[in-house]
Amino acid sequence: MMQKGLKGIVAAETAISHIDGTEGKLIYRGYAIGDLTSRFSFEEVAHLLWFGELPDKNQLQKLKVELIKNRELPLHIKHILDHLPKDMDLMSVIRTAISSEDVASYGWKPSVSQAIRLTSLVPTIICYWTRLLNGKPFVEASTELSHVENYLYMLTGDIPTKAHTLALETYMILTLEHGMNASTFSARVTASTESDMVSAATSAIGTMKGPLHGGAPSGVIDLLDEVRKVGSAEQVIRGKLENGEKLMGFGHRVYKTHDPRAVALKAKLLELVGEDEWLDLALEVETMAIALLEEYKPGRALYTNVEFYAAAIMKAIDLDSALFTPTFTASRMVGWTAHILEQSEDNTIYRPQSVYTGKFHDKVTINE
């Protein structure tokens, strides 16, 4: 039976992650996502996804060294970035820059070292382009800061606060991987042809660019801005519900209960109460929104999704909305490359069928 968009069709077996939308669970390599975000760093969870296990001290140090070593952009990619049209959107910039990697060193089969390199390059590409557009000098990558700290440092030129680093790191861990979504499927399809990892990653970036997949949570940002301006979360939210408006940042097409990523992100933000006004505001707005949604839409179970708190983090660290999907991409590169590696271990080329809906003619006729 045909399923449009392959909805509900099993396309692969994976040991990387598991999503249980009914129970509200997200599992990375056997570990609940909340346990990982409460105890481990971006680098440690990336190691888990790539190697299948959490690292010991020596393994972690080795991974950190490799990530740092690959942060610098090759001169030819800098040259390409310098000459791209300045009105080009950032996702297209990332796609173009990544596809410009020297594929001679990316043959079949893909390797973890290739995954590390691509993961290291994306934040640098984002920062190089962003500062170029703003007429600011490029900030060279640090050899001391962690992956997430370095990303914020290269964007702003300042060492980030602990609160901002922890908030963004938690978000990036939560978005490293999320099952067989559109971009991950795209990466695996390309890898299944025994193409190189650069090509597979480029396919994924092009898919993530689509607004139905990697769109920014502008509606949530607008909500937080309005609440701050009006000064009353209840007044703003009650007004929207009275007018029949959709409350952005609540509900999810996969999770039918609490979004485990939102739960984990909220737990981290609760540790940072008083550290940033936008993070505090998000907690206040969520509490009021959940109460009013239950009042106006009883039994609907509309819980906070990860985009709600992601928007709060973007406001807190003063990231332009144009950086949301690129930042998502910077973290998801880990998941994509983990799937590319997994695909290569038991590879079968993807070759689904289609249903022909055109005409059948008995003979060729030509109008005179």
CA 365 to chain CA mean position, Å: 53
Residues 150, 257: one domain? no
Q: Are residues 241 and 261 in the same domain?
A: yes
Q: How confident is the model at residue 363 (pLDDT cuts 50, 70, 90)?
A: confident
pLDDT of residue 124: 98
Of residues 86 and 354, the one with the higher pLDDT is 86
155 shares its domain with 256: no
The reported pLDDT for the residue numbered 22 is 82
C-beta of residue 24 within 8 angstroms of C-beta of residue 258 = yes
Give residue for tokens 């382009």: 129
Same domain, 329 and 292: no
Which CATH number goes with the domain that contains 285?
1.10.230.10
Q: What is the pLDDT of residue 218?
A: 67
Residues 103, 198 contacting (CB under 8 angstroms): yes
Answer whether residue 155 shows pLDDT above 90.
yes
Model pLDDT, residue 24: 85
Residues 309 and 332 in one domain: no
State the average pLDDT over residues 49-78: 97
Vertex 88: Cα angle to 85 and 91 (nearest 5): 140
User: Is 2 inside any structural domain?
Assistant: no
Q: What integer pLDDT is reported at residue 16 of this predicted model?
A: 97
The answer to whether residue 233 is domain-embedded is yes
Together in a domain, 136 and 195: yes
* Catalytic-role residue among 164, 252, 286, 342: 252
pLDDT tens for 156-199 read 999 999 999 999 999 999 999 999 999 999 999 999 999 999 99
Whether 142 and 256 map to the same domain: the answer is no
Give how far the C-alpha of residue 61 lies from the chain's centroid of Cα atoms, to the nearest Å: 25
Active site residue 307: yes
135 and 203 inside one domain: yes
pLDDT at res. 21: 82
Regarding whether 137 and 262 lie in a shared domain, the answer is no
**Whether residue 311 sits in one domain with residue 235:** yes
Instruction: Based on the fold, state whether residues 311 and 328 are members of the same structural domain.
Output: no
Whether residues 17 and 96 share a domain: the answer is yes
Rounded to whole angstroms, the Cα distance separating 15 from 31 reads: 11
Check residue 299 and give its pLDDT: 74
Expressed as residue numbers, the domain containing 155 is 13-213+323-345
Taking residue 7's Cβ as centre, other Cβ atoms within 10 Å add up to: 6
Please give the pLDDT value at position 364. Answer: 76
Mean pLDDT for the stretch of residues 306-316: 83
Q: 357 lies in a domain?
A: no
Mean per-residue pLDDT, 272-292: 88
Average pLDDT, the chain: 90
Q: What is the pLDDT of residues 287-306, one digit of tens each?
A: 999 899 888 888 777 788 88
pLDDT band at 111 (very low <50, low <70, confident <90, very high): very high
Q: Whole-angstrom Cα distance, residue 201 to residue 181?
A: 14
Query: Looking at 101, 177, 307, 342, which residue is catalytic?
Result: 307
What's the pLDDT score for residue 272? 83
Q: How many domains does the chain have?
A: 2
